[in-house]
Structure 1
């Protein structure tokens, strides 16, 4: 897409100021648009008006602060203030029900509330991750064309990903106004250079689910491969290293770990499976991906049990373990469906006493049975073993010799293969990794 493609400033309304909504609002203000962020949470809106950002995301607080100060970004709890908006972005969360279906109640409520607010020519853009057919249903409800424009933001890199995307996907609902809606959304990103995929709304909606499900599949594949390496005496580092050099495979998402999680992959794989089931499609490979991820949590617990007790069947009852990393990945404070906490839950069920440290996670986070610690030394003190569960680069700089002295038994299970084995062993630890 040309960088100056129809570029002009728009008045943009963003409904929902969560992770996607706030990032979108701040970045669009940075591109020169006048942006109004709307949310039903009055406490959150009050904080955002003071440029207080509740999300740990590099660069986001700076953008919010700059554009709240210059007037390009404002926040409200009143949807009526979006009456002047030329473009409306729906960024309402769509969490999963237990059966995998998306909870669209908040999304539908937002659409219904907008019906009497929108100006007659406003373009409605669905950025929420929604089941196939939702954008078409939204268009019918509002009596206008609507556009599916899914986000592909990585937590910890969201601002960069918005401003430097791999691709922009714009899917429209056929009908009157379709061409203008496509042109408007395309122009919204004027100043950004990225491949543009123009398609129908259903294909755009499915592209988001398909992308995340494929990443989940790749992660489950390498985790099972790491298990195989342990059984046959191979090294997953060398095996994955050889795979990464094949351009057909690519280098990303080929590192073994305690499983995949976060706010997107688990939810989106379940939703895609549900869509396939309802369509009568046997998506067995994706179902196996989910099963493999559950198995990975159990396998990591067995690895920890063996490292700490000397036996895969050894008792962890009353055993004190220190956990390094609680977020689902480095660079974020997000613990939603964190594999670190999934492993912790299983350890707690086995009787282990858990203390955890994470440089990004707040004391107020929901950590289950894990007692939060504000420094690494408290995690190591008198522990029968340490378990590294999140790949924070800061962990490479820890004083491992000092930590070994604090532990009751200097045992370290590195589920992310983050550390230099020689350095950790020289510090006095018995060092255990996946796939080796």
Structure 2
């Protein structure tokens, strides 16, 4: 198949490279010439494990190319896949300007017999409006095909999805067959529904996952007060088939999806006169949780943080990506600087992006050990292997007292940290020694997939 992917952000680049790897002839298009030039050299803007290798394969075979919108001419192919961003506006509403620009560009090419496949996350009801406005009079079919990719695991999620959702109206059923042809190399169950239901499913999925994160974080807060172990609680919940896979507490969700999708869903509900109290609580809990590292540091240094050397380990909102959008580390560092702390930071992939956003006084380090040198406190905010597997015995020797470590992802073993001489604190662990072992006494079929909150 000949496919044009419009929008070369994280989603678009993954889609283009994956579809080329499946044997299709793919052209990736974007208005950003600088971004396109980087992709022509096989260099994506964001880090994603394995993505550069996929790009190299496609470029080498010659069935993957990248053009800016001014360079593109000719036929869009059987599929024009839209993968532009839909960030939140100041009021919380989804900003559809990039999507609309993509549709206007597609319209200018006068496509014929083409399936317009919407991968971008757009509010329920948007697709029907696009079909009546932007695509009216064209010989095309509009299909909603939401993505469910996780940054850091996007390639695996593309190749092994839990489901493929296709939303199409009755007059566009021929496009469903086109989409299935596009995914012919992928084995997954299909959910074929109408456009608006497919759009709603995407938002509902993200909202549900965000709710799980806020729930376990509230449980962790109560565990600390009553002396329970959130490790045991989360394990026990996961052993019940009704409650889903294990999810760990942490410092809240971030990234480019959950925060803006929760806002967009709240905005839509308000506009439609639907009261959704739970969504508001999910967002409120998350906002509070993101400030937990700062609260813990203030508590540990009651004399104030001015002059305190703090090492921040992890800047990306999760491991496996360089994305710092809505990353808790950014908020923490800005607050620490305002309170006069001396901040050093390390991330194996996000240092470059963070340097552009954070205050100039922040010292960026090339290793966890460098960020910890002379520090009185460390805040572990992203559970990269390079951080969790660092030489913690050596780190203990280069820190200054009190050697306080706030583990915002419960990624370290409390007993080990205490033996090494750290003043350790996790989330929902308190200072209890009644911590559940993560691998002992578990049934053989216990789920191994973990979610970090």
- Give the alignment's TM-score, normalised by structure 1: 0.93
Aligned length: 420
2:227 aligns with 233
2:113 aligns with 121
1:341 aligns to 2:330 (yes or no) = yes
Range that drifts further, 71-80 or 379-388: 71-80
2:238 aligns with 244
CA contact (8 A) 2:368 2:387 kept: no
For the residues of structure 2 that align with 1:386 and 1:47, how far apart are their CA atoms? Answer: 36
- Distance 1:118-1:87 versus aligned 2 partners, 3 A rule: farther
1:149 aligns to 2:145 (yes or no) = yes
The secondary structure found in structure 2 opposite 1:124 is: strand
For the residues of structure 2 that align with 1:346 and 1:248, how far apart are their CA atoms? Answer: 40
User: Which residue of the other structure, out of 203, 214, 219, is the alignment partner of 1:220?
Assistant: 214
2:345 aligns with 356
| CA drift at 1:84 | 4.2
1:163 aligns to 2:191 (yes or no) = no
CA contact (8 A) 2:293 2:406 kept: no
1:90 aligns to 2:79 (yes or no) = no
For the residues of structure 2 that align with 1:116 and 1:360, how far apart are their CA atoms? Answer: 39
| CA drift at 1:364 | 4.1
Range that drifts further, 142-151 or 297-306: 297-306
* Over 4 Å off, 4+ runs: none
1:198 aligns with 192
Superposition RMSD on alpha carbons, in Å? 1.5
1:172-187 correspondence to structure 2 within 5 Å: 172-175=168-171, 178-187=172-181
User: Which residue of the other structure, out of 6, 10, 30, is the alignment partner of 1:39?
Assistant: 30
Where structure 2 has 5 or more consecutive residues not aligned to the other structure, the ranges are 430-453
1:399 aligns with 391
CA contact (8 A) 2:293 2:379 kept: no
Range that drifts further, 383-392 or 369-378: 369-378
CA contact (8 A) 1:135 1:146 kept: yes
User: Which residue of the other structure, out of 295, 299, 321, is the alignment partner of 1:302?
Assistant: 295
1:433 aligns to 2:429 (yes or no) = no
1:331 aligns to 2:323 (yes or no) = no
1:60 aligns to 2:56 (yes or no) = no
| CA drift at 1:195 | 1.1
1:3 aligns with none
For the residues of structure 2 that align with 1:66 and 1:43, how far apart are their CA atoms? Answer: 21
Range that drifts further, 281-290 or 53-62: 53-62
For the residues of structure 2 that align with 1:383 and 1:43, how far apart are their CA atoms? Answer: 39
For the residues of structure 2 that align with 1:161 and 1:332, how far apart are their CA atoms? Answer: 14
1:106 aligns with 98
CA contact (8 A) 1:125 1:146 kept: yes
- Distance 1:171-1:67 versus aligned 2 partners, 3 A rule: same
For the residues of structure 1 that align with 2:304 and 2:427, how far apart are their CA atoms? Answer: 21
| CA drift at 1:421 | 1.9
CA contact (8 A) 2:238 2:244 kept: yes
User: Which residue of the other structure, out of 252, 266, 272, is the alignment partner of 1:273?
Assistant: 266
- Distance 1:82-1:405 versus aligned 2 partners, 3 A rule: farther
- Distance 1:240-1:364 versus aligned 2 partners, 3 A rule: closer
- Give the alignment's TM-score, normalised by structure 2: 0.89
Note the alpha carbon deviations across 1:223-282, whole angstroms, 9 max, x for none.
111110111111111111111111111124x21111110010101111111111111111
For the residues of structure 2 that align with 1:213 and 1:250, how far apart are their CA atoms? Answer: 15
Note the alpha carbon deviations across 1:145-168, whole angstroms, 9 max, x for none.
200000000001101111111110
Note the alpha carbon deviations across 1:176-216, whole angstroms, 9 max, x for none.
xx111111112210021111000011111111111111111
1:25 aligns with 16
Range that drifts further, 108-117 or 375-384: 375-384
1:289 aligns to 2:282 (yes or no) = yes
For the residues of structure 2 that align with 1:29 and 1:283, how far apart are their CA atoms? Answer: 41
| CA drift at 1:96 | 0.6
2:434 aligns with none
Where structure 1 has 5 or more consecutive residues not aligned to the other structure, the ranges are 1-9
CA contact (8 A) 1:82 1:118 kept: no
For the residues of structure 1 that align with 2:296 and 2:16, how far apart are their CA atoms? Answer: 44
- Distance 1:232-1:73 versus aligned 2 partners, 3 A rule: same
User: Which residue of the other structure, out of 410, 413, 436, is the alignment partner of 2:406?
Assistant: 413
CA contact (8 A) 1:329 1:391 kept: yes
| CA drift at 1:82 | 5.3
